[in-house]
Structure formats: structure tokens, C-alpha cells
Amino acid sequence: MLGLARAARFLPQCAARTEVTLNRSCRPTTSLVRCHRGPAERARAGVISVLGNMADQLEGSPSGAQSVEKLWAMSDLHTDAKENLDFIESLSPLAFRSDALIVAGDVSDDLSIVRLTLRSLRSKFARVFFVPGNHELWVGRRRSDGCGDSLQKLAALEQLCAEEGIDAHPSRLVVSSGQANAEVSLWVIPLLSWHSPGFDTEPEIDSRWMGMPIADQVCSDYFQCKWPPPLNQQDGSVSDRLDSMNDERLSEAPCAGDDREKLAALFESGTRESGDIVVSFSHFLPRIELTPEKRYLYFPCLNKFVGSLALGARVSRLRPDIHVFGHTHFGWDQDLDGVRYLSPPVGYPRERSMRMSTIAIGGFPEAAEQQEQATEPVLVWSASAGFPGKYPAGWSGFYQQYLREPHQALVLPDYVADRYQWDEKRHGPKAAVTGWQGKTPAWRFGPEWSQASRLRALDRSR
């Protein structure tokens, strides 16, 4: 994000309007979560908890970096939806006090909701790391935020994070690892990004299919974002500008000792000390392989605005152990070229009711289905056990079983084919170009607990 000094130029009134009153009336428990206590009580405890966490952080470890026990992650919280906000607030106020959390974007386009959500999370975790998604930079619907364009919105988010004790810059944490409990460094690297037009390199759907929308008609970012000239998201300049900010943020990162030099070496070539752990995260995708092929998407043009070439090059240089991403609302756990990629979406309530098995990753968000299940984010790292085992997830499980075949752009699964037209008089029966071509559907690879919701959704559609 923008540094505070530069941010001040953009903030005559933008961020000042984002404060919210946390003492809200208690909401009823929804099917998604079990309320431990009322929101007003949780908010009061949260303010005290934030202060306590900040005091704990100052103590840190002998190395000067804060010690944590676990690192968790979530993306695409979309807490504009009441059910999602309840889900976030249902997280235990005590279980994660020694842990850090990654939030990989898309909380809300409303700054007051972003503040409310991040404040709630900060009251529960020792550290919270955040990068904005595309929704946070929308300005078309939120005139009350006072931000004239998306760069001003980015500056407002930077100030909001500073005010709420949210980490928006790279940082080194310390963890005790191994039988000797040796202290090792855990680098958490937030990466700003934006989608670039050259990201989608795979063939288009066969032109005999009719009615396919184009990206300009589907991508809300083209209507909801406003970028000051000469920035233009459709020519890649927005993606390049936000990527360049990652280098600028190195000089602003809160570093002690020689940490800044170590960060610079990490950014330049992935150089790290033996035993160091590196976890980077972004909202957008660094690789096209982290999203289903076009023929499997309701809107095949979606792959044109999900990822960034500049981000991909940066992640390749960083060579993290794990890179966390969001945006697609598909749970994902896949190893590519020595990097493990995780996508831990919350998604929208309607999505969860219709296709939980392709949103879910491991046990997240099982609390949506099992009310006796404790609400937890996705575990990325644990001082006691290291990296977790492979998580079951629908689409990454599918690609573990089947090779990616983007050149196969004619046959569509039924849920996509039903949306589009096929001239049977000219091209033969539509049924001949509809189906999974003998492959097991992706949702069958989702976590076992998530299968029941998919079956219920199929029953409702019959």
C-alpha cells in the first residue's frame, strides 16, 4: 500500500469517515455460526484485547521480532453479508492470542465494514496481515467514503490499517522449531497486485458456442474502480503500478537490525538464511494454473481478470514456501515448481449453499455445515508441527488427478453448456459436446464433509 507520508496527500477527508460504532444490537444466531456472546460485548472485549495484544507485541522475543505459535489464513471474507460477519465474529477471542492471521483481500468495498472486520480479527489474533482485493478499491458505490479514485481508496486503507494495528508491510516473526526449540524466522510478505490483461494465455472457447459474454461486460472492476490518468487497468498499467509499490514498501517496513537488508535480498532473488520460512500472499493469482480452465467456468472470460503477470514474476523471485491467494472463491492446495499455493475463501453465503465442495479447503469453513464444529481459519504453519499436510479441495484435487488441457475448448460440462446456445442444425447435437468427458467432476474431490451440501443443492435443482 501507499506509505503514510504519501498517503497523507490523498486524505483530506477520505479515511476520516470510516470510523464506525461497534456497540451494535445483538443479532440472532444464523445457520453459519454459534454466537458465543453478543456483538456489543465482543466489541468491548475486542478493544481491551487489542491493547493487550499490542503490549504483548512490544515484548516480542530476544531477537526483536514477535514470537507466534501458528499462522492462519482466510480470503474473500465479504462481510457485507451479515452471515459472513457473524462467522468472523464467532472466532474464539482466546484461542488465537499467540497466533498470526493472513487476510488475502475482499473484505468489503465499504471502509467502515473493513474497519469493523479487521478490528474484530485484531482483537483475537496477536498479528493480522492484510492486502486489499478488488472490492476494497471500488469507489463507484461508496460515495460516503469520500475517496475520489481507487488510489485514494488505497491510501485510506493504509491509514485504516495503521490505526487498527493491522500489518500491511512485510514482517519477520519468530517461531520455535524442531526438538531443540530453535528460534527460526517466519517472514510474512503481503503483496499488492491487480489483474493484468495478458495473464490469460489459454485458448478461447470454441466459437460455435454462442452467447459467451466478454470481460468488459462481466468484470465489475471496470465500472466500480476509477484510476487517475495515465493509469488504465485494461492496458496493464494499474497492475504494474501496484506491483511497483511492493518495492517502495520495503523502505517503510517496520524492521529491526539487519532485517531490511534481509528483506531486500529476499525480494531480489529469494535469498534467505538457512531454516527461514517464507509465506507470501496476495489477493490475485500469480499463475493461470491456479484457476479452472475456461470450459469449467460459468463465465469463461473470468480468467482474463483473475491474475497478474507482474505478481507471478515477483513470486517466482521470492520463492516462498507457501503463497496464499484469493479472488476466485475456489478452495485450492497445489504444489507448482517448488511453491505450495493455498486459497482459503469464505465466499458468499449463496455460493456456500450451492457449491460448498469447491469452496471448501480441508476443514474450512466446516462450521457452516456443522454447528458443533469450532470456527477456525486455514492453518498455514505451526511451530509444533511445521507445515500442515495436503488439504483436500475440489479443483486442486481435480488437477491432481487430471492434466490441464486448455486446448480442449469444445466440450463443456452441463452447468456451463446450459447457459449458452449451440446450433444443432449446423453443428450436430448439443449433447455430443456436453459433459465431463469421462472425468470425475471437481466437486467430488472436495472435503468429505462438504459433499452433503452439494447433494442437497443438486436435489433442489431437480
Q: What is the pLDDT of residues 370-401, one digit of tens each?
A: 666 678 999 999 998 999 999 999 999 999 99
Instruction: Give the integer Cα–Cα distance in Å for 103 and 123.
Output: 14
Spell out the alpha helix ranges (H) of 325-421.
Answer: 349-359, 394-401, 414-417
Query: Does the pLDDT value for residue 311 go beyond 80?
Result: yes
Query: Does the pLDDT value for residue 48 go beyond 70?
Result: no
411 within 8 A of 437, measured Cβ to Cβ: yes
pLDDT at residue 51, as a whole number? 36
Average pLDDT rounded to a whole number, residues 139-168:
90
Instruction: Give the integer Cα–Cα distance in Å for 175 and 2.
Output: 29
pLDDT at residue 135, as a whole number? 96
Residue 357 C-alpha from the chain's centroid: 18
pLDDT at residue 256, as a whole number? 77
Query: Does the pLDDT value for residue 13 go beyond 50?
Result: no
416 within 8 A of 295, measured Cβ to Cβ: yes
65 within 8 A of 58, measured Cβ to Cβ: no
Instruction: Determine how many CB atoms are found less than 10 A away from the CB of residue 10.
Output: 21
Average pLDDT rounded to a whole number, residues 41-51:
36
Query: Does the pLDDT value for residue 49 go beyond 60?
Result: no
Q: What is the pLDDT of residues 393-429, one digit of tens each?
A: 999 999 999 999 999 999 999 999 999 999 999 999 9
Residue 284, classified by CB atoms within 10 Å of its CB into exposed (0-12), middle (13-18) or buried (19+), is: buried
Least trusted range by pLDDT, from 6-10, 234-238, 244-248, 350-354: 6-10
- Domain residue ranges in the chain: 4-461
157 within 8 A of 195, measured Cβ to Cβ: no
Query: Does the pLDDT value for residue 238 go beyond 60?
Result: yes
Report which residue type is found at 424. E
What average pLDDT is seen over the chain?
85
Least trusted range by pLDDT, from 206-210, 285-289, 374-378: 374-378
pLDDT at residue 382, as a whole number? 94
Q: What is the pLDDT of residues 82-121, one digit of tens each?
A: 999 999 999 999 999 999 999 999 999 999 999 999 999 9
Residue 181: which pLDDT band, with cuts at 50, 70 and 90? Answer: low
